[in-house]
Amino acid sequence: MRRFAQDIIRTPMSVEERASAAERVLSARERYVARGVATPALVVERAEGARVWDVDGREFLDFAGGIACQNLGHGPSAVVAAIHAQVDRYLHQCFMVGTYEPYIEVCRRLDDVWPGEAETKSILVNSGAEAIENAVKIARAATGRDAVVVFDRAFHGRTSLTMAMTAKLVYKQGFGPLATDVHRAAAPYPYRGVSTEDALESLELLFKQDVDPRSVACIVLEPVQGEGGFIPMPPEFVQALRRICDEHGIVYVDDEVQSGCGRTGTMWAIEQLGVEPDLLVSGKTIGGGLPLAAVTGRAELMDAPHVGGLGGTFGGNPVACAAALAVLDELTAPGFAGRAERLGSFLRTRLEEIAARHTLVGEVRGLGPMLALELREPTPDAAKATTAAAFEKGLLLLACGLYGNVIRLLPPLTASDEELERGLSLLEEALGDAGADGG
Ligand SMILES: Cc1ncc(COP(=O)(O)O)c(C=O)c1O
């Protein structure tokens, strides 16, 4: 008889066996799930707010937030209620088969929160990478040009086009020929010696050496680089890019998949940089835990692709749209931005105190409450040891950065002061245990 993974996971267990429930799940995972998807140590049983419990009953504080999908914490009650209500009406229509209001309403709400003056339209899809692919398609259709400009340490996804746009070997090594006409320039990284001037000079060189700016469809930039190391782009760099786009008729694409939805204290990080983009890509938290992402942009650009040129079976699924509407309600509720801003200053002050006590911490940086610690050594060892030690202490943390040496903080913006304090204490203990205390 066939044995299903759930048999291995769910067979009744003795008290002794219970202690190893996580190991049982992980061994079934190893047997049945492709190894290319990285395996974390956590095996989840349930989650609520800023806390997650594993199958062995251990409680964790969640400062990883499903990689920026839980800005409102796990299972916010209004989002869960909206999902339940939609589940009882219809689960799926396919927007190309039956028009439904939740999709249109999400697009209207995205227009409401657009960071600028333009009249916008949107398309809804399933993932950040799919949204970036669509943004490039739209920019190409609107300009009649092919080239795409991206930056050092960018992360835009793992699909064929987006892995070419992403700047880290692990995401593309061995996966065949990369999409062509994707060009990379330097992005500012003051901590490692790359200034705004250096970055702009690199773009100028790119335009002289490799690609005529008149053949560039779009420039794509994360306003705070996420996977690349939580590096906020200086306002003067972003403003210079805006001028360069205007000068050459290039579409400015703002990738807010990780930095958006309140993560930096404002709905979109770019609001703090004094620039209105042409297209804005959102994802992650927008779906409240369900798969949803969007491209929003100036209506005339969004309407450039021909009828039938955009779409997808599940894009803008009605249940995900219902969740998104509740998420947008929460993110735009009075008091939300103020609380996120206070949380940002509190976290920054505490991280700076921690950095002062641990000499291997090189820099505290970020924008608003999107914050990280970069460790001095450009190798992943100390960051890995820190995240592992944090896990043992009951804190979920993620590393990031080209060198894997940045510890990023993605706690829910709704976490209590007590949860944040406790998480920071555990982080500091973990840094100490990992030998990152310089002592
Ligand atoms: C800035 C940015 N863009 C795009 C993506 C891709 O999103 P997804 O994993 O939903 O495809 C990510 C994912 O981490 C991201 O951080």
Task: Please check whether residue 156 is in contact with residue 179, taking contact to mean a CB–CB distance below 8 angstroms.
Answer: no
Res 4 pLDDT > 70:
no
Distance CA 331, CA 286 (A): 10
Amino acid 80: pLDDT: 98
For residues 133-148, give the mean pLDDT.
98
Q: Dig out the tokens for 3 from the structure.
A: 């044995």
Q: How far is CA 387 from CA 51, 346, 391, 404, 430, in A?
A: 17, 22, 6, 11, 7
Which residues lie with the beta carbon below 6 Å from any ligand 1 atom?
Answer: 67, 127-129, 132, 155-157, 222, 226-227, 255, 257-258, 283
Sign of CA dihedral 283, 286, 292, 295: negative
**Quick one: which atom of ligand 1 is closest to the CA of 225?**
1
For residues 409-438, give the mean pLDDT.
91
Pocket test residue of 280, 284, 370, 408 for ligand 1, highest count of atoms within 8 A of CB: 284
Pocket test residue of 71, 125, 134, 155 for ligand 1, highest count of atoms within 8 A of CB: 155
Residue with tokens 């419990």: 53
Residue with tokens 């799919």: 130
Domain boundaries of the chain, sorted by first residue: 40-69+336-433, 77-331
For residues 434-438, give the mean pLDDT.
61
Per-residue confidence at 3, pLDDT binned at 50, 70, 90?
very low
Of 282, 270, 420, the C-alpha closest to 340 is 420
77-331 has CATH 3.30.499.10 classification: no
Distance 154 CA to ligand 1 centre (A): 10
Amino acid 65: pLDDT: 95
Distance 263 CA to ligand 1 centre (A): 14
Per-residue confidence at 20, pLDDT binned at 50, 70, 90?
confident
The per-residue pLDDT for range 187-219, each reduced to its tens digit, is 999 999 999 999 999 999 999 999 999 999 999
Res 1 pLDDT > 50:
no
- Write down the mean pLDDT value for the chain: 95
Distance CA 415, CA 346 (A): 12
Task: Please check whether residue 412 is in contact with residue 62, taking contact to mean a CB–CB distance below 8 angstroms.
Answer: yes
Task: Please check whether residue 435 is in contact with residue 423, taking contact to mean a CB–CB distance below 8 angstroms.
Answer: no
Q: Give the SS3 label for residue 310.
A: coil
Q: What are phi and psi of 63, to 5 degrees?
A: -105, 20
The per-residue pLDDT for range 143-168, each reduced to its tens digit, is 999 999 999 999 999 999 999 999 99
The residues with which 345 forms a beta bridge, in sequence order, are: none
Distance CA 295, CA 111 (A): 11
Amino acid 8: pLDDT: 47
Q: Dig out the tokens for 106 from the structure.
A: 């999400």
Expressed in angstroms, the distance from the first to the final Cα of the chain is 58
Amino acid 435: pLDDT: 74
Distance CA 266, CA 269 (A): 6
Q: How far is CA 21 from CA 16, 54, 408, in A?
A: 10, 9, 29
Q: For residue 65, give every residue at least 6 positions away whose Cβ sits within 8 Å of its Cβ, in sequence order, or none.
A: 71, 410, 411, 412
Q: Which CATH number fits domain 40-69+336-433: 3.40.50.300, 3.90.1150.10, 3.40.50.1820, 3.10.28.10?
A: 3.90.1150.10
Res 231 pLDDT > 90:
yes
The per-residue pLDDT for range 68-122, each reduced to its tens digit, is 999 999 999 999 999 999 999 999 999 999 999 999 999 999 999 999 999 999 9
For residues 279-308, give the mean pLDDT.
98
Amino acid 438: pLDDT: 47
The per-residue pLDDT for range 307-360, each reduced to its tens digit, is 999 999 999 999 999 999 999 999 999 999 999 999 999 999 999 999 999 999
Res 140 pLDDT > 70:
yes
Sheet-wide strand order for 293-298: 120-125, 293-298, 279-282, 251-255, 216-221, 147-151, 182-185
Per-residue confidence at 6, pLDDT binned at 50, 70, 90?
low
> Distance from CA of residue 369 to its chain's centroid?
14
What's the whole-model pTM score?
A: 0.95
User: In percent, how much of the chain has pLDDT > 70?
Assistant: 95
Distance 121 CA to ligand 1 centre (A): 21
**CB neighbourhood size of 215 (10 A):** 14
Amino acid 347: pLDDT: 97
Pocket test residue of 153, 258, 286 for ligand 1, highest count of atoms within 8 A of CB: 258
Per-residue confidence at 177, pLDDT binned at 50, 70, 90?
very high
Strand (E) positions, 389-437? 395-396, 398-400, 406-409
Distance CA 427, CA 77 (A): 28
